[in-house]
Amino acid sequence: MAQLLRELEHRVTQDTVTRQQLDIIKTSGMETLLKDVEQKEQKLQLLTEEAERASKRGQLQQQKMDRDLKQMRNRLAQERSVKLEAFQRVQELLNQLHDTKQPSAHMASPVGLRSQTHCSLNSAPALFRYSPHHFSKTHLMGSKMTRRIQRPKTVPVKHSRRTDGDSLPSVAENAQLTTFPAQTAPSSGISFRPESVWPPVLKD
């Protein structure tokens, strides 16, 4: 009987010790778990704060990039407007210069000068187309021919022929003088062409 009691006490003691050990293990496990949870919470908090800071930095960078992009667009738009305005101004100046040069070039061209001179010469009387020297020579020859016609008929034939022979150089000289302005005319395309010889030469 006494042995049974000792065995029962021994079992109760072992059970008590076992429960105490289990309680200690549970307590230590709970503390460990709590510590782990706290550490994880701290890490999570740190990560959350870091993420928030990164998000803020990203937002700031995005805002800065947006501002820079907007400024760049405005600057490019201003430069484009200035360049376009300058290009239009240059084009207007070129058009004005072209419009200014076109009439002067037309007036200074040989075709324009030739047409103007031709029109002025055609509109002028035929008498004014000859030089004063040619007019005086022609008038002098006409006076000589008139005086020769008015001579009396008693002049010998031989002398009359000699007079005709003497007058031939004047006619040849008149022909050379008539063709002289056409040969010595300037190279601008203006040619002087006598319409007729005035006064008319009368032969015996």
**Do 74 and 103 have their domain in common?**
yes
**Do 98 and 132 have their domain in common?**
no
Q: Which domain holds residue 155?
A: 127-183
pLDDT at 142: 54
pLDDT at 76: 95
pLDDT at 24 over 70: yes
With beta carbons less than 8 A apart as the criterion, state whether 145 and 201 touch: yes
What is the DSSP-derived secondary structure letter of residue 191? -
* Contacts of residue 155, Cβ cutoff 8 Å, sequence gap at least 6: 163
pLDDT at 56 over 80: yes
**Do 53 and 98 have their domain in common?**
yes
Domain assignment present for 100: yes
Domain assignment present for 198: no
**Do 140 and 93 have their domain in common?**
no
Domain assignment present for 1: no
Higher pLDDT, 27 or 151: 27
Domain assignment present for 195: no
**Do 142 and 93 have their domain in common?**
no
Mean pLDDT on 51-74: 93
Domain assignment present for 57: yes
pLDDT at 187: 46
**Do 51 and 104 have their domain in common?**
yes
AA identity, residue 185? A
What is the DSSP-derived secondary structure letter of residue 128? G
Domain assignment present for 11: no
What is the DSSP-derived secondary structure letter of residue 38? H
Mean pLDDT on 78-96: 93
Higher pLDDT, 6 or 94: 94
Q: State the chain's mean pLDDT as an integer.
A: 69
**Do 54 and 102 have their domain in common?**
yes
* pTM (two decimals): 0.33
**Do 97 and 143 have their domain in common?**
no
pLDDT at 198 over 70: no
Domain assignment present for 148: yes
Domain assignment present for 157: yes
Write phi, then psi, for 40 (nearest 5 degrees): -65, -40
pLDDT at 161: 47
**Do 84 and 133 have their domain in common?**
no
Domain total of the chain: 2
Please compute Rg for the chain using Cα positions. 65
pLDDT at 36 over 80: yes
Which of 53-67, 94-108, 165-179 tops mean pLDDT? 53-67
